[in-house]
Structure 1
Amino acid sequence: MSPLALGALYGIVTIIVMCSGMPIAFALGVVATSFMYFFMPASSLDTITQNVYEEIASVTLLSIPLFILKGAAIGRSPAGRDLYSAIHAWLSKVPGGLGIANVFACALFAAMAGSSPATCSAIGSAGIPEMRRRGYSPGFAAGIIAAGGTLGILLPPSITMILYAVASEQSLGRLFLAGVGPGVLLVILFAGYAVYRARKEYRLAHEIYSQGGIKSAYLDDEHFTFAQKVEMLPRVLPFLILLIGVMIALYGGFATPSETAGLGALLAIVLIAVVYRMWRPRDLMPFLNSTIKESCMLLLIIGMSLLYSYVMSYLHISQSAAQWVVALHLSKWLLLAVILLMVIVLGFFLPPVSIILMTAPIILPPLREAGFDLIWFGVVMTVVMEMGLIHPPVGLNLFVIKNIAPDIPLSDVIKGTLPFLLLMFLAIILLCLFPGIVTGLPDLLMGAR
């Protein structure tokens, strides 16, 4: 059987097994092991545990559980609520300021926690009720939080980017820096739309009230004194200092990513103990348990995905597929469009972790051959995968929002995210037209390659 025919069979079997409802890690492991049994030497089965261990025994991957611990410590404390409340108070007089506050709170929390679900849960649990209380439509409120939560896989420390750095053999520090510019771009686009939509809903509410209708909460004036605003800062500033300190340690060359993750996790635990008095075992156990569960699940997916990729490489499936793509002689940008479209389709069914580890052996060689900067592509691919977090059928953030706001129909949540999907698509076009948005900061701080 030719490698391409074998690859087609490999893909079909994978789809069938995943559609059976089997967890992703086990599905990938079953497919890889089955093909090792039927198409590889019998002795290869004896190396499964060794291969999986060697693949996940990486110093870079060691940072993942530590970043998860840092995110869990912050996410399961009142830090998210306090961060949101402070930003809301300081932006209360800005038109559409409540929507902007939610976008900014999502961005800052994502940069501290590095997790999209944690960002949605922490900021959404406070932000969605507050927006609805202030008259925001349920779909709009849900859309802001769902889209803002996606920044967790783009802004450093991003677990998704850690895995891409491993799969593509690129500098993690440079990749983290490359995500900052696009992250700021998305924050600006999201905040701009939040202002536009809030002002539109405000005008509609004003017209209804002026015609004798019910007065919307949009029209109520909320005022925070300067003293009230200042009182909110002491609980927020320590976590912002932690964020800045971690970034300085990482990008200043003072610590490796793993050391930075360990330091960040330790300081996060110390801060929640000091600021929120969460130091007793019953306070610490929830986020320690969460860290263990999420880390084990993620590392198992990583191990099985890498075993899956190893089988593809051994059977020359990935090499043949890459050669086939190159042989099509597609133009540079058409090649990119085809690959990103494939990533979008995979995003209907798979989480970003699996997409990266399963597709990297196939898509990276043709992209490198076409002259694309793999750091730049990693960021663009991450933005595309962000879209996968908020579009059906398995957009993770949609279901997180549904969990924290069960009275909002899922159809309204989906409609609320559609404008943000269009903004992400616009951001991808801008990144293609102006690649310096991605490469400018890492080239400035780490030197051009």
Structure 2
Amino acid sequence: MDPLTLGALIGVATVVVLFSGISVAVGLLVVSTGFLLVFDGPGSLELLPEVFFANLDDFALLSLPMFIIMGASIASTRAGADLYEALERWLTRVPGGLVVSNLGACALFAAMSGSSPATCAAIGKMGIPEMRKRGYPATVAAGSIAAGGTLGILIPPSVTMIVYGISTETSIGRLFLAGVVPGLLLVALFMAWSIYSTWRQGAGEVLSATRYTWRERAEMLPRVLPFLAIIVGVLYALYGGVATPSETAAVGALLCVLVAMVIYRLYDPRALWVVLRDSTRESVMILFIIAAAGVFAFMMSNLFVTQSIAEWIKELEVNRWVLMAVINVFLLVAGFFLPPVAVILMTAPILLPIVTAAGFDPYWFAVILTINMEIGLISPPVGLNLYVINGIAPDIPLKTILLGSLPYVLCMIAAIVILSIFPWLATGLPTLVMGPAL
């Protein structure tokens, strides 16, 4: 069978298997094993165990569970509520300040926890009722929190950036830096739209009757600043040449657990066990997907599908921006149905050679890919953040949450356009800090 036809058949089979409800990792293994058995014979199956475990034989993978523990320890405390309250006290008298403080809290908590659902739950439980009480429309209240939660996979330290770096053999440090300015750009676009939407609808004019003194504003800082200091310290250790990403993640995880124990009195062994249990479960899930995606990539390469697709695209001789537009549409559709980690592991190794051959920077492309994955988190049919918001605010219909999130999808598309016009927004900081990429 022609490799391109075979590739189309593999794509259809993969979608069907994953839509059956089977886990992503198991689904990839089933598809890989089936196609190798049929089209390459039983002999090729002998290599699968070696390929599976070889994909886990990477020292950089140690950073994954450490960053996950770091986020889980923060998510298990009142850090989200305190972060929200601190920003609310500082911005409560500013017109539109409440929605700005909510988005700021989402950005900071998402960066600390790395978990989009945890951010939505932690900030949304307090932010959504308060915004609605102040007269903000339900669309803005729900949509801003849903969109704000997605920022964790872009703003460093980001687990998805680590996965991209491992799957494409690019520098994790550069990837983290590449996400900083685009992450701030998205925060600014989200805030601008929220303030405009609030002003246009004449909402959010009911200011808090409480006037906080400077002392009351400052008293919240000791609960928030230690976590922020840890994030700054992690980034300094990473870019200052003090430690490797894995060592930095380990120290950051330990410090976050200690801060949670000291500030939030997380002494109960049962609470600590929950943090470690949930972190282990999520880490194993991601590592399982990484190993299975490696087997899937081996199958695609062994059947000459990957090489044929790359050669076919190269022979099209289309404008490189048309090519990038097609890739963006593909990533958007994939993000609608699959989690970000799975999409990155399945597509990045195939797309990166095509993208770099067209003259695009691999770190810039990592940011574009990640923003596409963010769109998937607030878009049906999967749209995990939509369901999290519906769970914490069941009186807001899912349709309303979806309508509220659509303008933020447009903000993300606008960010992709801006980054396409000014790619240095993603590549400038890594080059400034670490020098030109080799």
Q: TM-score, normalised by structure 1?
A: 0.94
Cα deviation, 1:117-147, whole Å, max 9, x if unaligned, reads 2221222222222222222222211111111
Matches within 5 A, 1:354-369: 354-369=342-357
**Residue matched to 1:186:** 186
> Shift of the alpha carbon at 1:379?
0.7
Contact 2:147 2:378 in 1 (8 A): yes
Q: Which amino acid aligns with 1:389?
A: L
% of aligned pairs identical? 52
Contact 1:380 1:428 in 2 (8 A): yes
Decide which of 332, 342, 345 is 2:333's aligned counterpart.
345
Matches within 5 A, 1:65-80: 65-80=65-80
Q: Which amino acid aligns with 1:125?
A: K
Matches within 5 A, 1:40-79: 40-79=40-79
**How far apart in 1 are the matches of 2:144 and 2:403?**
11
Contact 2:105 2:123 in 1 (8 A): yes
Task: Give 5+ residue unaligned stretches, structure 2.
Answer: none
**Residue matched to 1:372:** 360
**Residue matched to 2:216:** 228
**Residue matched to 1:302:** 290
Contact 1:76 1:122 in 2 (8 A): no
**How far apart in 2 are the matches of 1:266 and 1:304?**
30
Decide which of 324, 336, 352 is 2:324's aligned counterpart.
336
**Residue matched to 1:429:** 417
Q: Which amino acid aligns with 1:119?
A: T
**Residue matched to 1:438:** 426
**Residue matched to 1:266:** 254
SS of the aligned residue for 1:56 comes to coil
SS of the aligned residue for 1:179 comes to helix
Contact 1:319 1:361 in 2 (8 A): no
**Aligned residue pairs: how many?**
437
**Residue matched to 2:26:** 26
**How far apart in 1 are the matches of 2:288 and 2:27?**
11
**How far apart in 2 are the matches of 1:157 and 1:383?**
15
> Shift of the alpha carbon at 1:312?
0.4
**How far apart in 2 are the matches of 1:220 and 1:63?**
43
**How far apart in 2 are the matches of 1:329 and 1:222?**
63
Q: Which amino acid aligns with 2:223?
A: R
**How far apart in 1 are the matches of 2:331 and 2:297?**
16
Q: Which amino acid aligns with 1:39?
A: F
Q: Which amino acid aligns with 1:24?
A: V
Contact 1:398 1:413 in 2 (8 A): yes
> Shift of the alpha carbon at 1:205?
7.4
**How far apart in 2 are the matches of 1:205 and 1:102?**
13
Cα deviation, 1:170-223, whole Å, max 9, x if unaligned, reads 11101110100100101111111222223334x3577xxxxxxxxxxx255442
SS of the aligned residue for 1:325 comes to helix
Q: Which amino acid aligns with 1:258?
A: S
> Shift of the alpha carbon at 1:49?
2.3
> Shift of the alpha carbon at 1:48?
2.1
**How far apart in 2 are the matches of 1:205 and 1:240?**
29
Matches within 5 A, 1:38-437: 38-201=38-201, 203=202, 218=206, 221-437=209-425
Contact 1:6 1:317 in 2 (8 A): yes
Contact 2:198 2:204 in 1 (8 A): no
**How far apart in 1 are the matches of 2:45 and 2:149?**
41
Q: TM-score, normalised by structure 2?
A: 0.97
**How far apart in 2 are the matches of 1:66 and 1:399?**
27
Q: Which amino acid aligns with 1:53?
A: F
Contact 1:168 1:374 in 2 (8 A): no
**How far apart in 2 are the matches of 1:411 and 1:258?**
42
**How far apart in 2 are the matches of 1:131 and 1:57?**
48
Contact 1:68 1:114 in 2 (8 A): yes
**How far apart in 2 are the matches of 1:147 and 1:222?**
28
**How far apart in 2 are the matches of 1:229 and 1:197?**
28
Contact 2:131 2:204 in 1 (8 A): no
